[in-house]
Amino acid sequence: MSSAAGPDPSEAPEERPSLPGTLERQAPLPHMGRAELSPNATTSLAWGRQSWLEQIWNAEAVCRDCTAEAAALERELLEDYRFGRQQLVELCGHASAVAVTKAFPLPALSRKQRTVLVVCGPEQNGAVGLVCARHLRVFEYEPTIFYPTRSLDLLHRDLTTQCEKMDIPFLSYLPTEVQLINEAYGLVVDAVLGPGVEPREVGGPCTRALATLKLLSIPLVSLDIPSGWDAETGSDSEDGLRPDVLVSLAAPKRCAGRFSGRHHFVAGRFVPDDVLRKFALRLPGYTGTDCVAAL
C-alpha cells in the first residue's frame, strides 16, 4: 500500500483470524469479504467457447498436440529469437498480474479485499506465479505466497529471494480448514501446475493444496491452464478446479474450450508476428499498450 495516503480512519483495527501454523514471515490476515469480478472486463463468452478457439488455432493446428505446439513455440523464442528463460517468465508473470488488476481493479476493492494468496508449484508455472506475486505487490495489492515444494532451480531461488526482499510473506503450510482461507484472502492465484505436468509429479503437498483450492468460495485465477486439467482434452475439468479467471500464456491451450469462468485473458503480446504466423495463431488485438487481451 502507498504510505502517502496514510491510514484510513474509517477502518479501525479489529480482531483478525489467524491461520493455524507458523508463517515464515508473519503477516496480519484480515477478515475480509469476497473480491468481486469487475463488471467492466470483457467476459470469455464474447466469441463462444469452441468458435474462438478455432479462430486462434487454424483447423489443422487444433487437431495437433497443443502441448507439443506450446513447447515448440517456446523453443522458437529461446533458440531462434534468443529470449532468455527468465525473460519469458518475467513477461508472463507481469502480464498475469496485469490480468488480475483488470478482473479485480484496485479502486473497486476495499482494503480488506486486496489480499491475494498465490499458490506456486515447483515447475515453470510456479516461477510465473512468483513473478506475478511480486508485480501484484508493486501494483499495491497484498500478496502472500504458498510454495510447498520448492525447486532447487536457480531461477526459482532468485525469484523467491526477490519476493522475500520485498517482504512478501510465505505461508509455511496451507490450512485444510477452507473457511480460514476464505476469510483471510480476497482471491487466490493458481500457479501450481502447467501444461503436461500431472499432480503426481510434484508431490503430496501440491496435491493436497489443489484439493483445498477446489473447495474455496473466493475467486480463483488460474495461470495458463487450471492445475490438474489435461491441456488437450480438459479432462478433470468437471471434478477439478473451476477458476473464475483464466490467463492463457502466449496462446490459449486446447483445454481452454472447456473453461466456463467469467474472464479469459491471453498474455502473448511478446510473441513476434513471424512466430504467430509460423504456428498459425490468430490472437485477438491488444489495445493501446496493454500486454493482455480479453477473449
- What CATH number is associated with residue 246? 3.40.50.10260
Here the cell at position 148 is 510447498
Q: What is the pLDDT of residue 120?
A: 96
Look at residue 194 and tell me whether its pLDDT is greater than 90. no
In a domain, 163, yes or no: yes
In a domain, 252, yes or no: yes
* pLDDT for position 268: 92
**What is residue 257's three-state secondary structure?**
helix
Cα–Cα dist 142/162, whole Å: 15
* Count of domains observed in the chain: 1
Q: Is 45 a member of any domain?
A: no
pLDDT at res. 173: 87
- Indicate whether 136 pLDDT > 60: yes
Query: What pTM did the predictor assign?
Result: 0.80
Q: What pLDDT is attached to residue 244?
A: 96
Looking at residues 136-141, what average pLDDT do you find? 97
pLDDT at 82 > cutoff 90 = yes
**Which residue from 231, 285, 287 is spatially nearest to 69, judged by alpha carbons?**
231
Q: Which domain holds residue 163?
A: 84-294
Question: Looking at the domain assignment, is residue 44 inside a domain?
Answer: no
Q: How confident is the model at residue 25 (pLDDT cuts 50, 70, 90)?
A: very low
232 pLDDT tier (thresholds 50, 70, 90) = confident
Distance CA 142, CA 254 (A): 32
The β-bridge relationship of strands 142-146 and 170-171 is parallel
> What is the C-alpha radius of gyration for the chain, rounded to an integer number of angstroms?
18
CA angle 198, 97, 197 (to 5 degrees): 10
Q: What integer pLDDT is reported at residue 78 of this predicted model?
A: 95
Residue 36, pLDDT score = 60
Q: Is residue 16 part of a domain?
A: no
pLDDT at 14: 40
Task: Flag whether 205 is in a domain.
Answer: yes
1 falls within a domain: no
Q: Hey, what's the cell of 36? A: 468481486
Smallest CA-to-CA distance from 291 within 75, 135, 80, 158 is with: 135
Q: Is residue 103 part of a domain?
A: yes
pLDDT over 70 (residue 258)? yes
Reported as a single tens digit per residue, the pLDDT across 142-166 is 999 999 989 999 999 999 999 999 9
- Which of 2-11, 215-224, 267-276 has the weakest average pLDDT? 2-11
| Main-chain phi, psi angles of 181, to 5 degrees | -70, -45
pLDDT band at 48 (very low <50, low <70, confident <90, very high): very low
pLDDT confidence of residue 69: 82
For 157, phi then psi, to 5°, come to -65, -40
